[in-house]
């Protein structure tokens, strides 16, 4: 499924107060698309996006007082919640004038999301891996948009997510009546181009972006005990660890720790190849670029992106235009990598220096 299609579905569900359930393999980007949608919607609503689980109690109380300023994303991992009262709240006995009454005190996130001024998304992850009591509560929220007497704002999108039974032995079947009452979407994963677009804007390590584009390997399952699987999430985690380091041994250990062994070994060889290539040779004589293998070309343009500051602009322009005349897609990849390494301002200045014909072709396919 294309990410753009799923974005449109979430937009429509938000407008019509419809709940969506995403079922797919682990690590393929279910959470990613919800977070990305929330970021875009917050911008459209001219509100500040806040991730509830990252806030201090003081910040949460401030948002409760001023919900109209924020677009709130509440991400609840149901499998790790444990006690249902963390979602439903607790009863409190109030005494006074010889009488007493019991009132229900909900958690802070529920107080915020039930405010008439609240806008945001409630993301119930691991919905079919939670305890039965939590599942029942999650189903009430999903279907009726309420917890007890507390009704969730119409301007809050409710999205749940889980894994299919064949990939997670801890998962429980979702009742058929529930499936038929919500927008139930099975995700096989996203296209490489969609992930590259996301990774470029996210600032994932350029070596990983170039590798994924060259080898187009976003998913590979491990079969043995403790054998890693390659997933889009694996690349994001690896990026966090290896960014700003060229230590080959460090990168090797991290790659084997996050990726399937086959993918990791390919990535390590790709990094080693980058260390062997002399980018200056090809900048000075672009015609040599055509003699490289496809893997070498991707390794080289990654090197060029990383060393943009050290290359004279006229030489860089000449190099990009030569690649564009040979393979326009590769020149677009190079500009995407420069965008990640140097920022949008620098990347746009480079495009402005290109010939009008080449610039127009590239603007159709670059992802920023």
pLDDT tens figures, 299-353: 999 999 999 999 999 999 999 999 999 899 999 999 999 999 999 999 999 999 9
**Residue 162 structure tokens:** 């889980």
**Position 23 in a domain:** yes
Residues 12 and 67 in one domain: yes
- How far is the C-alpha of 104 from the C-alpha of 91, rounded, in Å? 4
Whether 107 and 173 map to the same domain: the answer is yes
Residue 151 and residue 231 in one domain: no
Same domain, 53 and 182: yes
Q: Residue 125's domain is classified under what CATH number? A: 3.40.50.300
Distance of CA 26 to the CA centre of its chain: 13
- Would you say 91 and 102 are in contact if contact means Cβ atoms under 8 Å apart? yes
Query: Comparing 124-128, 198-202, 264-268, 318-322, which segment has the lowest mean pLDDT?
Result: 124-128
Segment (H or E) for 229? none
The reported pLDDT for the residue numbered 248 is 96
So what's the pLDDT on residue 91? 75
Same domain, 337 and 238: yes
In this structure, are 115 and 260 located in the same domain? no
Q: Give domain status of residue 368, yes or no.
A: no
pLDDT at residue 26, as a whole number:
86
In a domain, 279, yes or no: yes
Final residue of a structural domain among 187, 215, 233: 187
Total domains, the chain = 2
- Given a cut of 70, whether residue 170 has pLDDT beyond it is no
Contact criterion met (CB below 8 Å) for 183 and 5: no
* Distance separating alpha carbons of residues 206 and 340, to the nearest angstrom: 7
Taking a C-beta distance cutoff of 8 angstroms, is the pair 209, 196 a contact?
yes
pLDDT at 43 over 90: yes
Residue pLDDT, tens place only, 48-75: 999 999 999 999 999 999 999 999 999 9
- If asked whether residues 197 and 316 sit together in one domain, one would say yes
Which is more confidently placed, 336 or 166?
336
141 and 94 in a common domain: yes
Q: What is the mean pLDDT of the chain?
A: 91
Domain boundary among 143, 171, 187: 187
Question: What is the percentage of the chain residues whose pLDDT exceeds 70?
Answer: 97
Domain stops at, among 172, 187, 202? 187
Report how far residue 236's alpha carbon sits from residue 232's, in angstroms, rounded to the nearest whole number: 7
Higher pLDDT, residue 182 or 265:
265
Give the pLDDT score at 90: 81
* Residue 74 lies inside a defined structural domain of this protein: yes
Q: Same domain, yes or no, for 148 and 209? A: no
**Phi then psi for 83, rounded to 5 degrees?**
-85, 120
Top-confidence residue, 84 or 292: 292
pTM: 0.83
d(CA 299, CA 257): 22
Please report which confidence band the pLDDT of residue 168 belongs to, taking 50, 70 and 90 as the band edges.
low
Would 67 be classed as within a structural domain?
yes
Angle between helices 328-342 and 356-363 (to 10 degrees): 80
Q: Could you tell me if residue 53 is inside a domain?
A: yes
Residue 303 burial (CB count, 10 A): 22
Q: Say whether 92 sits in a helix, a strand or coil.
A: strand
Q: How confident is the model at residue 334, as a pLDDT?
A: 97
pLDDT at 207: 98
57 and 102 both lie in a single domain: yes
In a domain, 316, yes or no: yes
Residues near 231 by Cβ (< 8 Å), separated by ≥ 6?
A: 25, 26, 27, 28, 218, 219
Range of the domain at 8: 3-187
Per-residue pLDDT band for 98 (boundaries 50, 70, 90) equals: low
Query: In this predicted structure, what is the pLDDT of residue 153?
Result: 96
Helix (H, G, I), strand (E, B) or coil at 51: strand
234 and 148, same structural domain?
Answer: no
| 140 and 261 assigned to the same domain | no
Q: What is the pLDDT of residue 267?
A: 98
HEC assignment per residue over 110-177: HHHHCCCCCCEEEEEECCCCCCHHHHHHHHHHHHHCEECCEECCCCEEEEEEECCCCCCCCCCCCCHH
């Amino acid at each position: 499924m294309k990410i753009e299609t799923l974005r449109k579905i979430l937009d429509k569900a938000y407008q019509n107060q419809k709940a969506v359930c995403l079922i797919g393999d682990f690590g393929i980007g279910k959470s990613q698309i919800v977070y990305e949608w929330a970021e875009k919607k917050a911008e459209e609503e001219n509100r500040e996006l806040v991730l509830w689980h990252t806030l201090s109690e003081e910040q949460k109380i401030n948002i409760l007082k001023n919900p109209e300023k924020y677009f709130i994303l509440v991400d609840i991992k149901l499998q790790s919640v444990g006690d249902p009262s963390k979602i439903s709240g607790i009863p409190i006995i109030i005494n006074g004038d010889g009488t007493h009454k019991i009132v229900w005190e909900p958690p802070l996130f529920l107080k915020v999301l039930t405010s008439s001024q609240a806008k945001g998304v409630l993301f119930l992850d691991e919905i079919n891996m939670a305890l039965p009591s939590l599942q029942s509560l999650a189903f009430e929220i999903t279907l009726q948009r309420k917890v007890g007497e507390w009704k969730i704002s119409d301007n809050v999108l409710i999205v749940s997510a889980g894994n299919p039974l064949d990939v997670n032995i801890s998962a429980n079947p979702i009742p058929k009546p529930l499936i038929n009452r919500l927008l139930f979407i099975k995700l096989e994963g996203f296209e490489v181009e969609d992930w590259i677009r996301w990774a470029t804007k996210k600032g994932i390590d350029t070596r990983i972006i170039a590798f994924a584009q060259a080898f187009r390997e976003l998913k590979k399952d491990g079969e043995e005990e403790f054998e890693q699987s390659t997933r889009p999430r694996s690349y994001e985690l690896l990026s966090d660890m290896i960014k700003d380091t060229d230590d080959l041994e460090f990168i090797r250990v991290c790659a084997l720790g996050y990726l399937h062994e086959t993918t990791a070994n390919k990535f390590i060889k790709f990094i080693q190849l980058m260390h062997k290539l002399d980018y200056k040779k090809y900048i000075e004589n672009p015609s040599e670029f055509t003699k490289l293998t496809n893997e070498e070309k991707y390794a080289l343009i990654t090197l060029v992106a990383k060393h943009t500051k050290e290359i004279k602009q006229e030489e860089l322009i000449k190099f990009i235009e030569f690649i564009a005349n040979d393979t326009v897609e590769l020149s677009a990849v190079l500009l995407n990598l420069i965008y990640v390494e140097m920022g949008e301002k620098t990347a746009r200045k480079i495009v402005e220096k290109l010939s009008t014909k080449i610039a127009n072709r590239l603007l159709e396919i670059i992802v920023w």
